[in-house]
């Protein structure tokens, strides 16, 4: 008989390692001013950190390999300081530090313009103290029984999904302020990489934006299971970049991460609930 794992009992333990997340913002050549897209990312991070009291935020600035080392060091310092000043003006709690690293540690090929653009960056690393987690004591059960449990979770009254954006959606359905889940928009676990089954939904959203040129939307990214603001931002940004690449003016779109602040299902320890909470939503700002 085939077996699978089912949660049987949980007890609290301490996680030895600290939780850590990283976000990246980019700069124009020879500039240290924050771009509009960077401010959007930082706004989402600031919202996430607003009520947090114990965290360490380290900001590392970098350049491409154009120019002399002395100038690049100064420029990387200024880039890190620009991000630092942004957070300082938000009057957040926590401990902050910033440092420039010139053209050290490139993440892309400096022989191409595309690679250089990726290297002109500041990395924002957020570290939290050791957190409480759950240790699971498990027992084996029949795989069909587990599947039945998952199906009950999805069809039960505790799962009341928001309306989904689908092929039957029309401009009349897109009321201002209304939020729609992008159906079947799935990502590889722990990443902002779209799975192949998400493509039809992306194409449908693109078609809707093209057919309704006055439509403006917010793209909201969400994660399951634990707070990860940077990942939720990246998921929303993935949809934003797709639409922009396909010709949708970025003035018609904003993107924002919500971490795990708005779960559809509160208890998402099982895959069935987690799948529901891992999502991207659109909110209609203007028709």
Query: What residues contact residue 40 under an 8 Å CB cut-off, 6+ apart?
Result: 254, 255, 256
In the block, residue with structure tokens 């396909």:
246
Q: Are residues 201 and 245 in the same domain?
A: yes
pLDDT of residue 145 exceeding 60: no
Contact 171, 287 (CB under 8 A): yes
Strand segments (E) across the chain: 3-14, 20-26, 56-61, 95-100, 121-127, 132-142, 164-165, 179-182, 216-221, 253-257, 280-286
CA distance 33 to 245: 24
For residue 51, tell me if it sits in a domain. yes
Lowest mean pLDDT among 1-5, 124-128, 180-184, 280-284: 1-5
For residue 105, tell me if it sits in a domain. yes
For residue 236, tell me if it sits in a domain. yes
For residue 47, tell me if it sits in a domain. yes
For residue 209, tell me if it sits in a domain. yes
CA distance 142 to 148: 10
- Among 102, 127, 152, the domain-final residue is 127
Residue 99: strand pairing partners: 60
CA distance 36 to 86: 13
Q: How many CB atoms lie within 10 A of CB 176?
A: 10
Q: How many CB atoms lie within 10 A of CB 160?
A: 8
- List the CATH number of the domain containing 192: 3.30.1330.60
What letter would DSSP give residue 194? B
In the block, residue with structure tokens 């029309």:
170
For residue 144, tell me if it sits in a domain. no
Contact 221, 233 (CB under 8 A): yes
| pLDDT, tens only, 221-271 | 998 877 888 889 989 999 999 999 999 999 999 999 999 888 888 887 777
Residue 221: strand pairing partners: 257, 280
pLDDT of residue 171: 57
The two tokens of residue 170 are 């029309």
Nearest to 260 by CA among 284, 282, 231, 239: 231
Q: Are residues 95 and 196 in the same domain?
A: no
Residue 13: strand pairing partners: 133
The residue range of the domain holding 47 is: 20-127
Q: What is the mean pLDDT of the chain?
A: 79
Lowest mean pLDDT among 136-145, 175-184, 218-227: 136-145
Q: Are residues 116 and 174 in the same domain?
A: no
Q: Are residues 110 and 222 in the same domain?
A: no
Q: Are residues 42 and 112 in the same domain?
A: yes
- Among 127, 153, 176, the domain-final residue is 127
Q: Are residues 123 and 50 in the same domain?
A: yes
Contact 147, 105 (CB under 8 A): no
Q: What is the mean pLDDT of residues 29-56?
A: 87
For residue 69, tell me if it sits in a domain. yes
pLDDT of residue 167: 60
Distances (CA, A) of 263 to 127, 175, 195, 197, 226: 23, 22, 21, 22, 10
Q: What is the mean pLDDT of residues 24-32?
A: 94
pLDDT confidence bin for 160, thresholds 50/70/90: very low
Q: Could you give the number of structural domains in the chain?
A: 2
110-118: Cβ within 8 A, 24+ apart: 110/64, 110/65, 115/64, 116/29, 116/64, 116/65, 116/66, 117/26, 117/64, 118/26
CA distance 57 to 53: 12
Q: Are residues 34 and 122 in the same domain?
A: yes
For residue 205, tell me if it sits in a domain. yes
pLDDT of residue 179: 85
Phi, psi of 46 (to 5 degrees): -65, -40
Q: Are residues 173 and 110 in the same domain?
A: no
Q: Are residues 197 and 109 in the same domain?
A: no
Q: Are residues 33 and 88 in the same domain?
A: yes
- Among 127, 149, 179, the domain-final residue is 127
pLDDT of residue 153 exceeding 80: no
Rounded to a whole number of angstroms, the CA Rg of the chain reads 21
Q: Are residues 122 and 223 in the same domain?
A: no
Contact 66, 59 (CB under 8 A): no
Q: Are residues 122 and 24 in the same domain?
A: yes
């Amino acid at each position: 008989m085939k077996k699978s794992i089912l949660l049987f009992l949980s007890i609290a333990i301490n996680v030895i390692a600290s939780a850590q997340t990283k976000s990246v913002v980019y700069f124009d050549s020879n500039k240290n001013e924050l771009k509009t897209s960077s401010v959007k990312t930082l706004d989402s991070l600031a919202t996430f950190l607003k009520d947090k009291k114990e965290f360490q935020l380290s900001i590392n600035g970098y350049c491409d390999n154009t120019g002399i080392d002395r100038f690049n060091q100064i420029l990387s310092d200024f880039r890190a300081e620009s991000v630092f000043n942004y957070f300082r003006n938000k009057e957040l709690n926590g401990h902050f530090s910033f440092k420039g690293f010139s053209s050290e540690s490139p993440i892309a090929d400096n022989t191409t313009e595309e690679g250089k653009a990726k290297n002109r960056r500041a990395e924002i690393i957020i570290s939290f103290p050791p957190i409480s987690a759950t240790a699971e004591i498990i027992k084996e059960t029949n795989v069909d029984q587990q599947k039945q449990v998952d199906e009950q979770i999805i069809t039960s009254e505790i799962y009341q999904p928001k309306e989904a954006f689908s092929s039957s959606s029309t401009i009349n359905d897109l009321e201002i302020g209304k939020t729609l889940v992008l159906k079947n928009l799935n990502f590889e676990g722990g990443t902002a990489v779209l799975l192949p089954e998400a493509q039809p939904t992306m194409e449908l959203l693109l078609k809707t934006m093209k057919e309704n040129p006055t439509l403006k939307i917010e793209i909201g990214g969400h994660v399951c299971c634990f707070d990860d603001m940077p990942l939720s931002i990246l998921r929303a940004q993935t949809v934003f970049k797709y639409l922009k690449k396909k010709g949708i003016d970025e003035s018609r779109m904003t993107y924002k991460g919500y971490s795990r602040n708005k779960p559809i299902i509160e208890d998402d320890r099982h895959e069935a609930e987690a799948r529901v909470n891992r999502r991207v939503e659109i909110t209609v700002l203007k028709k």
